Amino acid sequence: MKKLKVMSILVYTESENGKLKKAALEVVSYAKAVADQMGTSVTAVAVNADNAETLGNYGASKVLLVKDESIQAFNAKKYAAILESAAKNEGAKVVVVSASANSKYLAPLLAVGLGAGYVSNVVAAPSSVSPFTVKHSTFTNKAFANTEITTDVKIVGLSNNSFGLVESDGSASVEDFSPSVPESGVTVESVDKATDKVSIADAEIVVSGGRGLKGPENWGMVEELAEVLGAATACSKPVSDLGWRPHSEHVGQTGKPVASNLYIAIGISGAIQHLAGINSSKVKVVINTDPEAPFFKAADYGVVGDAFEVVPKLIEKLKAFKAANA
Amino acid sequence: MHSKIQIIIFIFVHKKKTFKVNHFYMKILVCISHVPDTTSKINFTDNDTKFDTNGVQYVINPNDEFGLTRAMWFKEKQGASVDVVNVGGPETEPTLRKALAIGADSAIRVNTPATDGYAVAKQLAKVVNDGGYDLVIAGRESIDYNGNMVPGMLAAMIDANFVTNCISLEVDGTSAKATREIDGGKETVSTSLPLVIGGQKGLVEESDLRIPNMRGIMMARKKPLSVVEPTETNAETNVVSFEKPAPKGAVKLVDADNIDELVSLLHNEAKVI
Ligand SMILES: Cc1cc2nc3c(=O)[nH]c(=O)nc-3n(C[C@H](O)[C@H](O)[C@H](O)COP(=O)(O)OP(=O)(O)OC[C@H]3O[C@@H](n4cnc5c(N)ncnc54)[C@H](O)[C@@H]3O)c2cc1C
């Protein structure tokens, strides 16, 4: 008798130095929701991750764990090939990846490998699984589109912090997985990354400064506020163009997108290009001297005031709050 | 893309003329997406199934403009030809002309609407294969559909190396060194041609971008813009409808002398701290 292939939902769970990322738990939670809609189960793929069985707490019933020192550094082509083999072995009809820089790097390669249609920046569970239809942000967060994926295999790129973590009762079995990995013409020479700081992509809270802060010497309070909150720091475009802050902090339509739970804008006017990139953050706070600044129309909470007075006070109050709630 | 044989012959010819060869003459293709200006109000028509182009100004996708400017640098400093390509209808030609005015040598328009990332990549793959390009620079993403997929799909289709979120690119001979932004930092990689880049700010600085001058605009009119017919491709995705974000409630203002209240609102009401 012909063996029927299981038709699970495959999900790529990222780790860093062995530790599973929060986004990995979120994509598993999402995959579980899709699996429930389709009456199937979730298989996670992890590379060199520790404690892979914990993915069971979020709905994975199986983890394919690749342990291979030679691919410690992320390589889009190799990782896409691993996912391609896993998807084919599992007969997966849906593959879920996150919105991290690495996932966005590998997903288009995987899409071609699997002949799968791919939609990125997805913000909700499918509104229908047949036809398979997902809602995703478009026009840099100025709108959403509901898009049908018409191929047999589908890839969903989930926007960070859009689905949240959903715990599950199940448990996951961990299996060693060692597919053949192709050569790649791209070799990592060096990585330059602050290990003590949370990245804008992974951050739950982002503290962002604009031209209203007058100069790079005034960023001490922004960094202190970020530290108190465990937040990432960001900035408006002119601030990075002026060289006050590195380009990697530039957020907005032409910079990085932000989809944090809390976004605090200090001395930022709220130009349309800035707002476009940060709009999918859940809660927005603006601190600005000008009550007419457009940011007040986009924010949930606002303080009309001088950042040089308000921010130190906010730091002080937050420290007190943290001490009281510790 | 250049076959290996073509490259070898080229170097051989150079050697015969006893030139010192550091760079061979690169054929660069820059992919230009025609997108609404960043200040555009986004609206939809036909029961929210179509983007309302009424009153919308179109520009070169900002990520592509950084790539185009880097391509011009290669042309001027190392010797390269720079072609630009767009997949789209006749309405995108002014955007291609602008790229020519900035300095590209010639333009190609694949005469078919850009239905989805896959279909666009498929059309581009044919242009790259037919034109024998060594380096393709596209934008990391377009600012309208934000798919983050065209350059990667293209690279996979033509089996070229691929680096995205690219913030610096050097090419020496057929070797390349690129830096890409990663979450929380950056990473430098070595690779080689043929290569596809997903570019963004950093490839060149904002201040390096060029506004076409009169001479450039005049010259652009005479440069070739060829229209090629599409290969047969089916899109893999299909937009059913668009929606706008739910209108936002009014901002809650907190007095600058009462920051305790802000902390309390963030904790008790917004539940984000
Ligand atoms: C093609 C294009 C793409 C763009 N992409 C982006 C993008 O991706 N991201 C982006 O950010 N911008 C982008 N912009 C730029 C955007 O249009 C704005 O110019 C920019 O966002 C303004 O930055 P800002 O708010 O820091 O500065 P400003 O607009 O100068 O605003 C400074 C604000 O600080 C306030 N202020 C001054 N002093 C104080 C004080 N002591 N305390 C508190 N507040 C104070 C002022 O009231 C003002 O509102 C783009 C523009 C173009 C044309």
What gap in Å lies between CA A119 and CA A268, rounded to an integer? 32
Residue of B nearest to A310 (CA): B256
Q: Any idea what the CATH number is for the domain that residue A292 is in?
A: 3.40.50.1220
Residue A195 forms part of a structural domain: no
Residues A164 and A210 both lie in one domain: no
Query: A105 contacts in B (CB within 8 Å)?
Result: 152, 164-165, 180
Q: How confident is the model at residue A326, as a pLDDT?
A: 80
Whether ligand 1 lies within 6 angstroms of the CB of A289 is answered as: yes
For A37, A128, B143, the CA distances from A146, given in Å and listed in that order, are: 18, 10, 18
Q: What is the CA radius of gyration of chain A?
A: 21
Residues A151 and A232 both lie in one domain: no
Residues 136-155 of B with CB under 8 A from A: 143-153, 155
Residue B44, pLDDT above cutoff 70: yes
- CA of A239 from ligand 1 middle (Å) equals 8
Residue A61 forms part of a structural domain: yes
What gap in Å lies between CA A210 and CA A213, rounded to an integer? 6
- CA of A103 from ligand 1 middle (Å) equals 30
Bridge partners, B195 (sequence order) = B135, B161
Nearest Cα to A222, choosing from A282, A256, A212? A212
For A238-296, the pLDDT digits (tens) are 999 999 999 999 999 999 999 999 999 999 999 999 999 999 999 999 999 999 999 99
DSSP 3-state helix, strand, coil percentages of chain B (rounded to 5)?
35, 30, 40
Nearest Cα to A264, choosing from A280, A283, A248, A246? A283
| Residue among A143, A191, A318 whose CB faces B263 most closely | A318
ipTM: 0.94
For B143-196, the pLDDT digits (tens) are 999 999 999 999 999 999 999 999 999 999 999 999 999 999 999 999 999 999
Q: How confident is the model at residue A85, as a pLDDT?
A: 98
Domains of chain B, by residue range, sit at 6-228
- Determine whether domain B6-228 maps to CATH 3.30.70.380: no
What gap in Å lies between CA B186 and CA B251, rounded to an integer? 37
Enumerate residues 6+ apart whose C-beta is below 8 A from B252. A300, A301, A302, B265
Interface contact A283, partner B, CB < 8 A: yes
Q: How confident is the model at residue A5, as a pLDDT?
A: 53
Whether ligand 1 lies within 6 angstroms of the CB of A41 is answered as: no
For A173, B6, B39, B82, B218, the CA distances from B102, given in Å and listed in that order, are: 57, 29, 22, 11, 11
Interface contact A130, partner B, CB < 8 A: no
Residues A15 and A145 both lie in one domain: yes
For B55-88, the pLDDT digits (tens) are 999 999 999 999 999 999 999 999 999 999 999 9
Residues A24 and A164 both lie in one domain: yes
Residues A243 and A290 both lie in one domain: yes
Residues A239 and A277 both lie in one domain: yes
Residues A212 and A300 both lie in one domain: yes
CB contact under 8 A, B270 and A262: yes
**Final residue before a domain boundary, out of A132, A160, A176:** A176
What gap in Å lies between CA A317 and CA B215, rounded to an integer? 59
Residue B89, pLDDT above cutoff 50: yes
Domains held by chain A: number? 2
The rounded Cα A28 to chain-centroid distance in angstroms is 13
Interface contact A167, partner B, CB < 8 A: no
Domain range for A280 is: 205-324
Q: How confident is the model at residue A3, as a pLDDT?
A: 45
Q: Any idea what the CATH number is for the domain that residue A16 is in?
A: 3.40.50.620
Whether ligand 1 lies within 6 angstroms of the CB of A306 is answered as: yes
- CA of B252 from ligand 1 middle (Å) equals 22
For testing the chain B interface, which of A227, A247, A289, A311 should be mutated: the one with the most B CBs within 10 Å? A247
Residue A186 forms part of a structural domain: no
Residues A166 and A231 both lie in one domain: no
Query: B144 contacts in A (CB within 8 Å)?
Result: 138-140
* Residue spans of chain A under pLDDT 50: 1-4
Residues B35, B86 contacting (CB under 8 angstroms): no
